[in-house]
Structures are given as C-alpha cells and as structure tokens.
A and B are shown apart, each in its own frame.
Chain A
Amino acid sequence: MSTTTFEGAWADRVRRLTEARSVAILGIACGVLAFWLALPPWTTRSVVGPIAAGFIALACGIAAVPRGERKLGYYAIALGILGTIGAIWLQSKEQETLDSILTAGVLASTLRFATPLAFAAIGGIFSERSGVVNIGLEGMMLTGAFFGIWGSVWSGSWVVGLLMAMLFGGLLALIHAVFSIHLRADQIVSGFAVNFLALGLTGFLFSSIYPGGIHENVSRVPNVNLDFLSSIPVIGDFLEGVFGHLNLLVWIMFLVVILSYIVLFKTPIGLRIRSVGEHPRAADTVGISVYGVRYAAVVTSGVLAALGGAFLSIGFVGSFAENMTSGRGFIALAAVIFGKWRPGWAFAACLLFGFGFALAIPLQREAGISENLISTLPYLLTLVALVGLIGRSIPPAAVGRPYVKG
C-alpha cells in the first residue's frame, strides 16, 4: 500500500485548489452567480439560489482575507452581499412575498443569533491566544445562562443577574484553568469535563431550585431604543429596523469585540498574552508570569462566555431550559478557528453563522424548505471554509501544551 497517497502529489493538488487566492476567486464567482441567478437565462424566482451563492461568497471572502488575499477577499465579500441583495431586489419587483425574506428583521435577528456566539468566541480567543484550548466554552455559556437568570430572579435586577453569570462563568473557567495549567491535564479532556459538569450542575440546580419551572417575573436586560434612526432620510427605516431595538447586550458585544482587538493587539497586556501562547519559555525568561497570564486569560474567557450565555437566558427569552445553549459554544469555537484567532474575523464568522440561523425560519416560511435542512448550512459552510484554510490557519504555537516551569 502506498504511504504517500495523502502526502504526495494528490495532497498538493488539493492544497493548490484551496489556497487563499483560489478561495477568494471562488467567492467572487459565487458573488457574481448570486446576482446572475436572477437574470436570464436562469431567471430563478426562488431566493434560495442567490442566498446560498451569496453565503458561499461571504464565507470564501471571510476565509481569504485574513490569509493574505485581502483585495480579492474583500471583493468576494462585497460581491456576495451586493449580489444577493441585488438578486432579491430584482425578484421582489415581481413577487411580493420575497420581500419578507431579506428584511431588516432578518438582519436584526442575525445580530441576536451572533451575540452569544461572539461573546464566547472572543472568550475563546483570549484563552487560546494564551495557549490554553478551551472547548469548555459551551459549559461556561450554560453556567452563565443559569446563574444569570438565578441572580436576576433572586435579586429582581438584571444587573445582578449579569454579575452572577460572570462570577460563576469565571469560577467554572477557574476549574478548567487549575486542571489544565497546574495539574497539566489534557486541555481538551478537561474542557470536555467542564461541559459535562456544567450540564449536570445547572440541570441539578434548576430542578432543585425551580422544581416547577420559573414562574417569577424575570428581570430582563433592556433593549436600547434608538427611534431617532428612522428620521434619517432614505435608509432611516431600514437602520431603525436593524439597530433600533437591539438588546443592550448586543451593544456590549460590539464594545467587547472592539476592546478585545485593542487589548490583544495594541497593548502590552495583549503582547504578553500572545507571547505566552506562542513561546511560553521565552516569555518566562523575560519575566512574564506564564501561569498568571494563562489563569487570567482562561478566567476572562469564562466570564465572556457566561455573558453570552446570560444573553440567551435573560437577554433574549427570559427563561431557562436544561442544556439551552445546545452546542453554541462549539460553534463559537469553530468561529475562533475560522476567524484565525482574531476578534474582528471571528466576529465576522459569528455573523455568518448568525445569518445562517436567522435565515432558517423565513426561508422555511417563504420557500417551503425544511428548517432542519437549512440548519445544516452553517455547519456545511464551516467545513468548506476549513478546507479553505489549508496551511494558513496557524494556531498559537503553544496552544494545548501545558507549561512546566523549568
């Protein structure tokens, strides 16, 4: 049996096909296709084609830009958005119902779906940039969701709810930190155990504290009403529809994304975090406390992930259910890798996932496509995008390796 099957010429061929440049070009092609689908000879009158093509264009663009193909990648992103909107606009001139698919409401719900993911993804970036893999994000989100609502019900104030979520998310992250930093456990195994622990613990507390469910009035994080937006000419109504009534936590999330970029890449703190994740020995030699930085980074990741979870329970719905995060932490983890461990791009990846989820409901309503089937789309795209990351998605060098003080 040949042992060079994968490492030989064949792999080279795959590699060439999936270089950033090829991915970006594919994205541009898809962006054009998205618009073209609405024109002759196809003249499709279903939004599925253009949206899928536009989606792929976006994904390709987001994958290509951080990997060096800036110009082509941005073209792909722009064409993806414009092509899809253009195609839908063309169609909507004939068919009224199509208007309701790509509306301000869908964009607003894209942001709502992206918010918990973005919080967790930014948390994951902090942890992984410091060299600790955190697949416990899911559990930390779930903890945040439960303690958020618990604090809110107990005190009657959502502020306390958020603080409690952050506190207990941080504590859970601390457990992960102790196990993976001091006890040098396998970080993936420890993170996995964190997820199990959170699932059991929140379920246990939920059934013992609220045996018949939560009946009290839950104090929820308020929405920020920006009614003045509608007074802006031409695009005012649209802006108001998207940004006019967002939850406060969505705005905090925007802030967190920007701040985390500044902290990680423009401050000495960020330099320390990154140096510990790239070369802990060198960082240790110049007097940076490797353990200290890692502890801080992991706890930060827990606090942020818990905020994301709290958005689910007291920001979005005002209730709690066992395992209510249902895999969002893992999607955030994918966004971290997809976004190449950079806050801005991870956020873009979260938006992409959010868009996929936000589309599921209107697409089912308008086009009669199974919601379950559409729900596979974001995951499929991630897989496709991961293939596009060949050789270019380089994790922090020391990620996953326990550091032993020498």
Chain B
Amino acid sequence: MSSSAPPESPTATSTLQSYFATRIGGILVPLAATVLAFFIGGLVVLITGHNPLTAYKAIFEGTGLNWFFPWVTGEAREEAANDLQQTLILMTPLVLTGLAVAFAFRCGLFNIGGQGQYWVGFFAALYLGTRLEGTPRPLHVLICIVASLVAGAIWGGIAGLLKATVGAHEVITTIMLNWIAIFGGAYLVEIGGPLQGPQSSIPRSDDVLPSAELWPIWGSLPSLHAGIFIALFALVVYSILLNRTTLGFEVRAVGFNPEAARYGGISVARNYFLALAISGAFAGLAGSVDLLGFKGGVSTGDFATNLIAFTGIAVALLGRNKAVGILFAALLFASLEIGTSTRQLDPEVFEPALATDLATMIQALVIFFVGAELLIVYIWRARRFLSPQPRIQPELER
C-alpha cells in the first residue's frame, strides 16, 4: 500500500495521516483482515450450533499461547508448554516457506512452488542424513542443511531460468515442478523405491541418523528443536539481504517496476532467476529443518497431507513480505493449525474435523481481505462517512 498526503497541504493533520497510512496502516490492514476473518469464522461456528467464544477459547488454549500468561500455573502451565512446543515446531518451517514466497513477491513473482522446493530440500537432506555414517554431529547437520539449500535453489532456479530466458510464467512452471517433486518423492520412498527404508512392506524412508538430527531444546513430546533458531536467523538474513544489499535493491526495483529497472541498467532476467533461486533455497531449508528436527523420515502418505508451503503463501501475504510480519503470521497460522488439531481440541466443544476446515477457511478469508485492501479501506471510509466531520482522504493508489 502506498499512500501519501496531498503535497499542497502540509498540515500537521496530513503529515500525521501520511505517517498513519504508511506505518500503522501496514499493520492495520492485516490486523483488520484477521479480525474480520475470525469474525466470519465465528459466524460459521454459530451456524453449526456452537458457541463461537467457547470454541475460540478452546482453540486458543490448544495452541499453548496461554503459557505466556503469568497467571497460568501448575499442571495447566505444563500442558500449555507442551502445546506451545507443538505450535513452535510447526511455526519453524512456516516461517521459512513464508520467506520463500515473500522473497519472490518482492521481485514481483508469485512462487507457488514452495511445496516442490520444500520436498526437494527435504530429500536432499534425507539422502545425506541417512548416509555418511560416522560424520561428527555439527558437520553432518551442516552438510544436510547446505545440501537442502542448494537443492531448493536449483528447483526454484529452474522456474527462474525458464522465466528469465523464455518468459514461461512462474505460476505454471512452479506448479509443474511441485507435482514432479511430489510424484518423484513418492517414487523414491514407495515400496521398492530407491530410498525405501528397512521394512519392505511399508512405503517409508529410513530415519535420519542421530548425528544428523537437530538438537532438541525444549520439552520432549516431541521437543522443540534448534531449527527455530535457524528460522529466526533466516528472518534476519532475509531482512538484511533485501534492505541492505545491492542484490536486494535490484530485486525490489524489479518488483516495483521491471521496465523502470531495465532502464536503470538492472538486468530483469538475472534478478528473476536469482529471486526464484533464493526463494527456493528458503523453501529447501524449510524441508531440511522439518526433517532433521521433527519428521525424521517420510512415508508416501505424507505427500498429500503436507500443505506447509501453501500455508506459507498465506503467511507471506498476511505478513506483507516483511520479516516481522512473517514471524507473527507464521505464529498465527501455526497456532490455528495446532489449536484445531484432533489432539488438542475437545470434541465436546467443537469437532476437530470441522475445526481443521474452519482454520483453512479463516486462512482463506485472511488472504482475501489482505489481498483486497480496498475492501478494508471501503469499510474504513464508510465509518468516516458516518462521522460528523469529513476529513481529507488520502488518495489510494495501487
């Protein structure tokens, strides 16, 4: 959203309005979108004959976020800690897939291929994590992570290369690459597949060796792993890369206006390629972190249910492609998913089967409303029309 006060009236009000629109507005729209989405979600709960407030409260407690409340003590606190660990475990890859989508967005590209890049990174780490026995632990972990970065970058880079050289639309190519990675991955671990594990009747891979596992840092069922530090570090890298380097400047310039960037002497094609390759590296990293810290291995059945990179798109949209925004958006969506899971939610309050789909719907609504900031602005203006004193409207441009 770019909005500015009319230049001919540099009054205190307009300066404030401009500040409001550029700074606070960037937070307000996602916030309003989230509130609106939860409100509509609440209506859906109401229609099905449940109390939305009780349902939301139960979902919230399932996320373990109440651990942050100092008045939660004793057994409740322990339970909250367990729940919070699950939420943070899920948040870790969500941050990374969110970054993957966001980085491409900043270059004006829509990377739907996070899922494929995630799996490619996952399998690169799986291949090396189940081999190289005897490698000391930090080195083994590092090798796996670097491999996943490279693999993800290659997978994203293919789409980037096609975009750069032949202009093939990245939405189509990344979708195709997703399916190739998914079916290819299923082939690797299916019965008789090259990476199938020890049990010949189960289509599941080997588990990674203990020397390649990420360190557990909190709790035990299952425990929060050191991958969360990698995710937080990636957020910092993302922010610095975009805002403090020439590469980031060029990527953003191309994202703002490719024609202008071209006139400015920036190679648009090169940046398309680099942006998608770096995107892919983030998503690939999500795959290895998820594997080495939490999953340990993969079965053929996991491919259909794993939508981590699709949620990552929602994370990037809600987080407005900003590092801090992505962190909170990832936390929100991870909480939603954990809070509505069968394990956390009491069926008496709200059936988990319904709640999981409710979470998906709320995610969809959030994307809708964030995408259509005009809608939020319309609602905002409608409120202003009701107020007695008409004020200057900052003109909104896309």
A and B associate in one complex: yes
Among A3, A334, A373, the residue within 8 A (CB) of B265 is A3
Within 8 A of A (CB), among B314-340: 314, 317
Within 8 A of B (CB), among A154-205: 175, 179, 183-186, 188-190, 192-197, 199-201, 203-204
Answer yes or no: A327 CB below 8 A from chain B CBs.
yes
On whether A183 and B375 interact (CB within 8 A), knowing A6-B165, A7-B269, A386-B172, the answer reads yes
Answer yes or no: B299 CB below 8 A from chain A CBs.
no
Q: How far is the CA of A383 from the CA of B17 in the complex (A)?
A: 48
Answer yes or no: B48 CB below 8 A from chain A CBs.
yes
Stretch of A235-243, A273-281, A387-395 lying at the B interface: A387-395
On whether A193 and B364 interact (CB within 8 A), knowing A330-B175, A380-B180, A386-B172, the answer reads yes
Q: How far is the CA of A370 from the CA of B185 in the complex (A)?
A: 12
Answer yes or no: A152 CB below 8 A from chain B CBs.
no
Q: Are A184 and B269 in contact (CB under 8 A)?
A: no
What are 13 A-B pairs at a CB distance below 8 A? A5-B269, A183-B374, A185-B375, A190-B368, A196-B314, A199-B357, A203-B357, A204-B357, A208-B354, A334-B176, A370-B192, A389-B168, A402-B398
Q: Are B361 and A197 in contact (CB under 8 A)?
A: yes
Shortest Cβ distance from A330 into B: residue:
B175
Q: Are A389 and B368 in contact (CB under 8 A)?
A: no
B130 CB to closest chain A CB (Å) equals 20
Other A-B pairs beyond A184-B398, A196-B314, 15, CB < 8 Å:
A6-B270, A11-B165, A179-B368, A179-B371, A196-B364, A197-B365, A201-B357, A327-B179, A370-B193, A372-B183, A379-B176, A379-B177, A379-B180, A387-B168, A389-B166
Answer yes or no: B44 CB below 8 A from chain A CBs.
yes
Answer yes or no: B236 CB below 8 A from chain A CBs.
no
Instruction: List the 4 closest A-B pairs by CB distance, nearest first.
Output: A200-B360, A200-B361, A196-B364, A197-B364
On whether A185 and B357 interact (CB within 8 A), knowing A6-B267, A376-B183, A383-B162, the answer reads no
Answer yes or no: A70 CB below 8 A from chain B CBs.
no
Q: Are B167 and A391 in contact (CB under 8 A)?
A: yes
Within 8 A of A (CB), among B148-186: 162, 164-169, 171-173, 175-177, 179-180, 183-184, 186
Q: Are A184 and B176 in contact (CB under 8 A)?
A: no
Answer yes or no: B367 CB below 8 A from chain A CBs.
yes
Q: Are A3 and B179 in contact (CB under 8 A)?
A: no
Residues on A with C-beta less than 8 A from B317 are: 189
Shortest Cβ distance from B266 into A: residue:
A3
A66 CB to closest chain B CB (Å) equals 16
B41 CB to closest chain A CB (Å) equals 9
Answer yes or no: A382 CB below 8 A from chain B CBs.
yes
A263 CB to closest chain B CB (Å) equals 25
Answer yes or no: B206 CB below 8 A from chain A CBs.
no
Residues on B with C-beta less than 8 A from A224 are: none
Shortest Cβ distance from A207 into B: residue:
B353
Within 8 A of B (CB), among A351-406: 370, 372-373, 375-376, 379-380, 382-383, 386-387, 389-391, 402
Chain B residues within CB distance 8 Å of chain A:
44, 48, 110, 112, 162, 164-169, 171-173, 175-177, 179-180, 183-184, 186-187, 190, 192-193, 265-267, 269-270, 273, 300, 304, 310, 313-314, 317, 351, 353-354, 356-365, 367-368, 370-375, 378, 398
Shortest Cβ distance from A334 into B: residue:
B172
B110 CB to closest chain A CB (Å) equals 5
| Cross-chain pair count, CB within 8 angstroms | 167
B305 CB to closest chain A CB (Å) equals 9
Answer yes or no: A267 CB below 8 A from chain B CBs.
no
Residues on A with C-beta less than 8 A from B374 are: 183-185
Q: How far is the CA of A14 from the CA of B48 in the complex (A)?
A: 57
Q: Are A333 and B172 in contact (CB under 8 A)?
A: yes
Q: How far is the CA of A334 from the CA of B169 in the complex (A)?
A: 10
Residues on A with C-beta less than 8 A from B300 are: 372
Q: How far is the CA of A200 from the CA of B336 in the complex (A)?
A: 13
Q: Are B371 and A193 in contact (CB under 8 A)?
A: yes
Among A14, A323, A382, the residue within 8 A (CB) of B176 is A382
Residues on B with C-beta less than 8 A from A185 are: 368, 371-375
Shortest Cβ distance from B365 into A: residue:
A197
Q: Are B165 and A207 in contact (CB under 8 A)?
A: no
Q: How far is the CA of A194 from the CA of B364 in the complex (A)?
A: 7
On whether A383 and B270 interact (CB within 8 A), knowing A200-B359, A370-B193, the answer reads no
Q: Are B172 and A192 in contact (CB under 8 A)?
A: no
Residues on B with C-beta less than 8 A from A7 are: 267, 269
A131 CB to closest chain B CB (Å) equals 16
On whether A376 and B166 interact (CB within 8 A), knowing A193-B371, A196-B314, A200-B358, the answer reads no
Q: Are A207 and B357 in contact (CB under 8 A)?
A: yes
Answer yes or no: A337 CB below 8 A from chain B CBs.
yes
Q: Are A196 and B363 in contact (CB under 8 A)?
A: yes
Residues on A with C-beta less than 8 A from B368 are: 175, 179, 185, 190, 193, 197
Answer yes or no: A45 CB below 8 A from chain B CBs.
no
Answer yes or no: A18 CB below 8 A from chain B CBs.
yes
Q: Are A337 and B270 in contact (CB under 8 A)?
A: no
Q: Are B168 and A333 in contact (CB under 8 A)?
A: no
Answer yes or no: A4 CB below 8 A from chain B CBs.
yes
Q: How far is the CA of A279 from the CA of B273 in the complex (A)?
A: 30
Q: Are A372 and B184 in contact (CB under 8 A)?
A: yes
Q: How far is the CA of A193 from the CA of B373 in the complex (A)?
A: 14
B349 CB to closest chain A CB (Å) equals 15
B277 CB to closest chain A CB (Å) equals 13
Q: Are B166 and A193 in contact (CB under 8 A)?
A: no
On whether A373 and B184 interact (CB within 8 A), knowing A200-B360, A207-B357, A389-B168, the answer reads yes
Q: Are B168 and A375 in contact (CB under 8 A)?
A: no
Q: Are A4 and B267 in contact (CB under 8 A)?
A: yes
Residues on B with C-beta less than 8 A from A188 are: 110, 171
Residues on A with C-beta less than 8 A from B44 are: 204
Q: How far is the CA of A398 from the CA of B384 in the complex (A)?
A: 34
Residues on A with C-beta less than 8 A from B193 are: 370
